[in-house]
Structure formats: C-alpha cells, structure tokens
C-alpha cells in the first residue's frame, strides 16, 4: 500500500480507499451503462453478431473515461482522476488531446 500511495501521490489511507471505491463504482457503472447506450445507438447482437462484443467494448472505453472523472469529482477526487486520465490517455497515444503549457 505504501508504494501505491507514493506512486499516486496519495496522502492517506482514507484517500486511497475513496480512490478504490471510485474505480469500483466506475467499472460497474460503465458496464451497466453500455447496454442502454448500445440500444440508443441501435447496436444490437442480432444486427452485428460476432462484432457486437468488440463494438460494445470500444464503446465502453470512452464511457469509462467520462464516468471516471465524473464519479471522481462527486467523491472529491477530481484532481487525482484528471491527472490519472491524462496519464492514461498519453500512454495509449492520445496525449495530443491535452496541451500542456
């Protein structure tokens, strides 16, 4: 736990617990929310067959990113999750989305 706190720059066990809770809620919420989003976009298993699952997973990624920052904000951890988000997007080659001064 100590190494994780140092790596993330977290000060207390309480803050670390809140961060874990946010990750748990976000994962569940994005999985649950992806179904109605697919329905809204007209993406069904009947129409897409084998490709339905990969399409749903691709849809899940941006949904997760938005929910992570939003739920982090609700739990008072916006700064942590905003930095986490930028770092994650940079690592997959989307760093151009965030212009640093």
Give the domain extent around 36: 2-97
The 10s digit of each residue's pLDDT in 83-97 is 998 888 888 887 777
Q: What is the pLDDT of residue 100?
A: 62
Q: What is the pLDDT of residue 43?
A: 86
- pTM value is 0.81
Q: How many domains does the chain have?
A: 1
Neighbour tally for 63: CB within 10 Å = 16
Q: What is the pLDDT of residue 2?
A: 83
d(CA 23, CA 44) in angstroms, rounded, equals 28
The 10s digit of each residue's pLDDT in 23-45 is 999 999 998 988 888 889 888 88
Q: Which residue has the tokens 């993330």?
A: 8
CA distances from 99 to 37, 59, 61 (A): 30, 25, 21
Q: Which residue has the tokens 């399409």?
A: 55
Q: What is the pLDDT of residue 80?
A: 93
Q: What is the pLDDT of residue 88?
A: 87
- What token pair was written down for 13? 């066990």
Neighbour tally for 85: CB within 10 Å = 17
Q: What is the pLDDT of residue 60?
A: 87
Mean pLDDT, rounded, for 75-82: 94
Give the percent of the chain with pLDDT over 90. 38
């Amino acid at each position: 736990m100590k190494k994780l706190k140092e790596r993330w720059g977290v000060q207390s066990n309480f803050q670390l617990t809140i961060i874990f809770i946010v990750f748990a809620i976000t994962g569940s919420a994005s999985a649950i929310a992806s179904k109605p989003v697919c329905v809204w976009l007209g993406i069904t298993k009947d129409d897409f067959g084998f490709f339905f699952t990969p399409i749903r997973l691709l849809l899940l990624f941006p949904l997760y990113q938005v929910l992570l920052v939003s739920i982090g904000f609700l739990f008072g951890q916006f700064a942590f999750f905003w930095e986490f988000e930028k770092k994650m997007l940079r690592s997959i080659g989307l760093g151009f989305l965030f212009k640093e001064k």
